[in-house]
Structure 1
Amino acid sequence: MDARTMPAAGYGLEFRLLGAFEVLSSGSPILLGSPAMRRLLALLTLNANQVVSVDRIIRVLWTGDPPASVRTILQGYVSRLRKLIGGAAAFGDDVEIVTRSPGYLLRTDPDRIDLHRARELARSAAETTGTARVVVLRAALRLWRGPALAEMEALPLLRATSMSIEEFRLGLVEDRIEAELAVGMGSDLLTELNELVTQHPLRERLTDQLMLVLYRTGRRADALRRYHELRERLAEEFGVDPSPQLQRTYERILRDEAVPDDASLPAQDVRPGPVDSERAGTVQSLAVIPAQLPPQIGGFVGREGELAVLDSLLPSRHHDVGSRIAVVSGVAGLGKSALAVTWAHRASAAPAAEFPDGQLFASLRGVDPYEQPVAPAEVLRQFLIGLGLTADRIPAGLTERVALYRSITAKRRMLVLLDDAVDHQQVQPLLPAAQSCTVLITSRRMLDGLLVTNGARLIRLGPLPDAQAGELVSRVVGDVELTQSELDRLASLCGNLPLALRIAAARLAGDAEVTVSELIDELADERRRLGALRAGDSQISVRGAFELTYRRLTPEAARLFRLVGVHPGVEMSRSVLAAMAQTSFAAVAEQLHVLESVHLMSSLGDGRFGTHDLIRLYARQLAADDLGSAERRAVTEALVDFYLAAAECGRDLIRPTTGSPSSEWTGELPAMGTAEQAVGWFDREWTNLLHAARTALREGRNEVAWRIAWAAAPYVLFRHLLDESTELFDQGLAAARAAGDRLGQCLMLRCRVNVDLYRSAQSEEALGHAMEALALAEELGDPAILAPTVSSVFTAQTRLGHYEEARRGGERALALYRGLGDLTGQAMSLNNLAMIDQSCGRTERAYERCLAVLDLYRRIDEPANEAVVLNNLSELAAELADWQAAESFARRARSVSVSCGASVQEAKALSQLGDVHLQNGDVLSAKFRWEQALTLVHGSSSPIRAEVEQRLAELAAEE
């Protein structure tokens, strides 16, 4: 017996999806924590050895709006699951959860997963006959312990997966019954089939099998009654007749013929082989078996995943039930037709030809620049002639042609390939009624109607992966030699778009005077790139391909697409597009749906959209060519004003400040009601904010430029984006100086102090900026501006060791904040004075001050600052050798940090927990905590990252 039929219990970890989800360790279940952790691990198990993006995990696990700190929560789940799996794994188990952009991956031997073993057994059964096939199918079905993922029905996406697994199980049940009938085991199937048909009254294959068993046991009348019950139900609910196979079984029983053992096989499930006599008579009555596929596409590479999905539609994959219609959709130039034609030739090739009754093909001219889309009636005329009818036998009306076409194809196993469809109305009349026929459609639209009404499979095509993009160029250039770096650069400049790659490669192959470096230089210039991606044939160009889609847009959608070209970023929100278009969120959402349906825009989740690099260049050219200077200027101003208003709204939620200017924006803004939501908005819009500040500076709007920088300052400190914010604050300072704006200069100098202090050897420069800011604040005379500026001077003086001067500044700042009644400022000043005490060796005094600060922050409900102080207390407790208190404060700091999404402070708390573990002699736990901390601050310029990296390096050196 195949080893896969053996239970995995006793062989280390086993993941069980076929029933309530559970993980076994040497045969015993392990506790998986909260329901959310169970769901997360189930999702990773369903996609074992494949990356599941963070966005997809969030969509699956949270049915409504996720919490603002969802990504931090998710990191916590992953961390705990890693610990659980690591602790439960036996020696030799190779199982782990890996962080891999853009999400996580469960790496494991697939045979540890019961669903994988069931699928492998199903494949094995497909290659087996007789009693051995029965044994293998029974072994596969024994893996089920109940409904798959039964306890996760509240989550729509997991419920859909559970339903798909149930379809797979029912297919195996039908296969098993078929195999048992084939070897004469049908006598004890009657009770089971009665129950199955009662539970699934519309499954024609089960009814077919029940009719066969009834007939063989002498109950011919009951068999005929079952057929009529199903026929009436199908007619009443769906307006369709039973399948041709079921009708044949009925007719044979009606005539009291001996039904062969394999009569229960539906026609679409029969393996490719000799045509049976009934079908052969029909085929021979026609002049030809159509073979209308276009020539194969040369140089086709990659698309293994998409080809595998298409393979699931093949007639021989009888255990894959459901629609045999697929739509390959994507933007122009992705190779939709190439994929469809390549797969069609592979599936139709001997010796295992899947479509022995022929292949029909039609170009529907959905985006032809010179011709109108083809009418369905004309396509049907072409198909009927291809099926052997003469022109005089073809009906005139569309309805009659559809009926005749579906009658002729009803008993055939054929492929229908429809290229470049406009919409589902054009395609609907061209669909055969028989499940034995497979239909493949390509379109620049998603054809949502077919997905809804016909259950079509949607294959959304994207750019090629890097390696395959380089391989495509290599195949087309022929003898032209390119280095790997040149291949990579060409692929990147072409956005891995197959059409662009083919054009670039053809230029190199066809023009000896064009060198690789010259072509790369030409493509690197964004103003010339689309023009360079044009073949000698004027009809073959990337811009021309995009143009055909753009020109078919409604005026409203076309204008919004031009506005996308004004936006300087790579991705953008629905909110900013509404501001630029001067319309409502709802109106923009409607037009974005239009752009998304033709793949000129792509949804990235959370109300954000992006587009392919070359499409973005095309939009920018349209904006430059088609928008008047006045309209372009108004749109740009709206964009900048929106980002300023949203940033100032977010700033006031993260850290309210007095004395700061506020926007007068009257349009709609993104929903932000809490500090966590504001931080999330800044996380998503950080790059766009930098673009907005540059745009404001370029347009001479100096006040707006520095105000954007000032609005981002609390977020910069929250996330420790110190290096990343240098340009922003430098631009803001330059803008304020150009405008002679003393307030702007003071605020920007304070921002520069924070950046300077975290750079090595920059403390003197920081003090210079702080003193310059203080002079300006004294001139302005506003205590709300003066108090935090005095604090900036204090911080710089402390870093330089000027403790006495710093102490006086701290006392002055505390007095100013008390005069303002600003509790947050008072807490910050007390914390600053505690820093002086700590630096001067007065650790116990610093500890007392921090306890008072902690009480203040709790009173004013500022969890992010509370986390800072808890971390300070943990550090001070460690200095006092009170390691129990140090651990307690660090754990509380981590908990508070997670609750408010303060990932930097969470990393600090984890770092200090590592210190505690190391002090206790637990090196492995210390390393684990530091690695957790590094994951949180990886890629940032936070000084905590440097601290953790140093700890890990020292540990590695010791090991």
Structure 2
Amino acid sequence: MNNQLLTVAEAPSPRVAPFPAGSMVEAAPEMIAEAEAALEINDHAAALAALEGVYDFTRTSPGLMNRALLAESWARMATGDIGGAEDLLARSSDITANPEFTERDRAEVLYRLGCCRLQRSKVGNATQLFTLALHICHTSEDDSTKLQAHILQWRARCWLRQHLPDMAREDVELAIELAEDLGDTRTLAHACFQASVVCERQSQWLLARLYGERALDAYEQLGDQVNCHKVLNNLGGINVLLGSAERGTSCLGRAVDIARGIGDDVGAAYALSTLAHMTLKLDDPAGAKNYAEQALSVLDGYEAHLGELGNVLLVIGRASLEEGDLGQAESYFRRADLAFEQISSIGHRAEAWVAQGDLARLRGDTGTAADRYRKAATALQDVHL
């Protein structure tokens, strides 16, 4: 299963009809609203197209300019331009420091900056930003319920990266409660999706499937194809863990088809990665390697997808191990460990160390094998005294 953060929706970029030059200032709110609507359906290319030239017509309206900056920063982050997103958020931070803006506005900027930092795998910094944003929301007089729900489900991702699933569970349960109070289907879907990921990490497969199916129903109601394929990807792996390989394969096949249908190659790669894991568990190393190599051809080089890249490399290494190619296995295990090191995920690194231990054991190097296993166990233990 994959705690997939964001994927790139390479959909066509529709544009509104051109406005007469003299009315561009009046058209700015409509351009920004169009971009915000495009972001709601994960059409990031359309959002960027809608915002083209908008800043020339928002200089006398800080509120409109800030909305444009927030919209463009999210679209850029989602399409991999994290540096560009952070630059835009720096401008937004300067604007919202003015008295006419509220504490909630400032919390919104911190939240989005935290998302960027998490995409950069700066997990500690992201956690701090989310926590500060929540604190500001709690002290603000403005209603920030929806923002809090979004912050909580994003901070849960940080806790999982730091191997703190209980804290992640607390955050997603509160996010679901807030979303239910709001009656906001999209916010509830996001929270349930993240709750499914958290339960999966805690080996609570039935609850993970329940939350995942609830999220899928909500996304299907919204017509959100991007998130549908993400949830189907996770449900595929969960169903395999529950002993239903046929049901799992069906979910993953749907996930790949949807992702490819909307031009989301990264999303398809995530589903292929899960298929590779599943196929390896079913004792088909050649099939697993085939799926994993297809995913690797897409994910290699993406800074925002290092975690899944490491998973793919690990599968190829494991498949190579089962085929008896120990040299190739060693190379892929080393690359997987390096990818996991860059995202500061102890749980993932422990998987790589166990794989390296298995390799050493097959070579008859029991000392190195024991060292690798011990390193993994020590990293994952909760008590150190």
- Report the TM range for the smaller structure's normalisation: 0.5 to 0.7
Measure, in 1, the Cα distance between the counterparts of 2:201 and 2:339.
26
846, 854, 858: which one aligns with 2:248: 846
What amino acid is aligned across from residue 321 of structure 2 in structure 1?
A: L
Ranges in structure 2 where 5+ consecutive residues have no aligned partner: 1-54, 57-61, 361-367, 371-385
Instruction: Give CA deviations for 1:632-657 in whole Å, capped at 9, x if unaligned.
Output: xxxxxx8x9989854641423554xx
Higher RCO by CA contacts (8 Å cutoff, separation 6 or greater):
2
The 5 A counterparts of 1:311-710 are 646=69, 648-653=71-76, 655=78, 675-676=79-80, 678-679=81-82, 681-682=84-85, 685=86, 701-710=102-111
Q: Distance in 1 between matches of 2:276 and 2:69?
A: 36
2:351 alignment partner AA: E
User: Please, what is the CA RMSD of the aligned residues?
Assistant: 3.7
Is the contact between residue 907 and residue 934 of structure 1 (CA under 8 Å) also seen in structure 2?
yes
1:732 aligns with 2:128: no
The answer to whether the 8 A contact 1:867-1:896 is kept is yes
| Distance in 1 separating the partners of 2:84 and 2:216 | 32
**Residue in 1 that maps onto 2:355:** 951
Pair 1:831–1:721, CA change in 2 (3 A): farther
Q: Take 1:694 and 1:759, find their aligned partners in 2: how far apart are those partners?
A: 31
CA contact (8 A) 1:843 1:879 kept: no
1:175-214 pair list within 5 angstroms: none
Residue 811 (structure 1) aligned with residue 213 (structure 2): yes
Q: Secondary structure at the match of 1:930?
A: helix
Residue 951 of structure 1 aligns with an amino acid whose one-letter code is A
The aligned residue for residue 871 of structure 1 is: 273
Partner of 2:333: 930
TM-score, normalised by the number of residues in structure 2: 0.66
Please point out which of 290, 313, 333 is paired with 1:888. 290
Paired residue secondary structure (1:861): coil
Query: CA separation in 1, counterparts of 2:359 and 2:284?
Result: 23
1:764 alignment partner in structure 2? 166
Higher strand share: 1
Could you tell me which residue of structure 2 aligns to residue 907 of structure 1? Answer: 310
- AA at the equivalent of 1:652: A
In structure 1, what is the equivalent of residue 190 of structure 2? 788
**Match runs of 1:253-268 below 5 Å:** none
**Does structure 2 conserve the Cα–Cα contact (< 8 Å) formed by 1:644 and 1:711?**
no
Measured after TM superposition, the shift of residue 744 of structure 1 is: 1.4
Q: What letter matches 2:310 in structure 1?
A: A
Given that residues 114 and 129 in structure 2 are in contact (C-alpha distance below 8 angstroms), is that contact kept between their aligned partners in structure 1?
no
**CA distance 1:715–1:835, shift in 2 (3 Å):** farther
Q: Provide the C-alpha distance between the structure 2 equivalents of 1:885 and 1:836, rounded to a whole number of angstroms.
A: 20
Match of 2:153 in 1: 750
Check the 8 A contact 1:863/1:900 in 2, yes or no: no
Q: CA separation of 1:851/1:712 partners in 2, compared to 1, >3 Å: closer, same or farther?
A: farther
Deviations 1:470-529 (A, max 9, x none): xxxxxxxxxxxxxxxxxxxxxxxxxxxxxxxxxxxxxxxxxxxxxxxxxxxxxxxxxxxx
Q: Does 1:917 align with 2:320?
A: yes
Q: In the alignment, residue 132 of structure 2 is paired with which amino acid?
A: Q
1:711 pairs with one of 72, 97, 112: 112
Q: Which residue of 2 aligns with 1:117?
A: none
Aligned position for 2:224: 822
Cα distance change of structure 1 residues 939 and 906 upon mapping to structure 2, 3 Å threshold: closer
- Return the alpha-carbon distance in structure 1 between the equivalents of residues 182 and 286 of structure 2: 48
Residue 878 to residue 853, structure 1, CA distance change in 2 (3 Å): same
Whichever residue aligns with residue 741 of structure 1, its letter is S
TM-score calculated relative to the size of structure 1: 0.29
Higher helix share: 2
5+ long unaligned stretches in structure 1: 1-582, 585-637, 656-674
Closer/same/farther in 2, CA of residues 833 and 903 from structure 1, 3 Å limit: closer
Q: 1:733 to 1:915 in 2, by over 3 A?
A: same
Can you list the C-alpha shifts for 1:112-148, whole angstroms capped at 9, x where unaligned? xxxxxxxxxxxxxxxxxxxxxxxxxxxxxxxxxxxxx
Shift, 1:883, TM fit = 0.9
Matching of residue 778 in structure 1 with residue 180 in structure 2 = yes
1:879 CA drift (Å):
0.3
Cα distance in 1 for residues equivalent to 2:68 and 2:353: 38
C-alpha displacement at 1:758, in angstroms? 2.9
- Aligned residue pairs, count: 301
1:737 Cα deviation after fit: 1.7
- Alpha-carbon distance in structure 2 between the residues aligned to 1:950 and 1:706: 41
Q: Is the 8 A contact 2:236 2:251 kept in 1?
A: yes
SS at match of 1:723: helix
Q: Which residue of 916, 920, 941 maps to 2:344?
A: 941
Q: Measured at CA, do residues 741 and 766 of structure 1 come closer, stay the same or move farther in structure 2, by a change above 3 Å?
A: same
In the alignment, which residue of structure 2 is the partner of 1:473? none
Distance 2:223 2:105 in 1: 30
Amino acid at match of 1:850: L
Letter in 1 for 2:355: R
1:725 deviates by: 1.2
Match of 1:884, as an amino acid? A
Q: How much has 1:783 moved relative to structure 2?
A: 1.5
Residue identity matched to 1:749: L
The structure with the larger Rg is 1
Judge conservation of contact 1:651–1:714 (CA < 8 Å) in 2.
no
Contact 1:644 1:707 (8 Å CA) reproduced: no
Q: Deviation at 1:949? A: 4.2
Identity %: 24
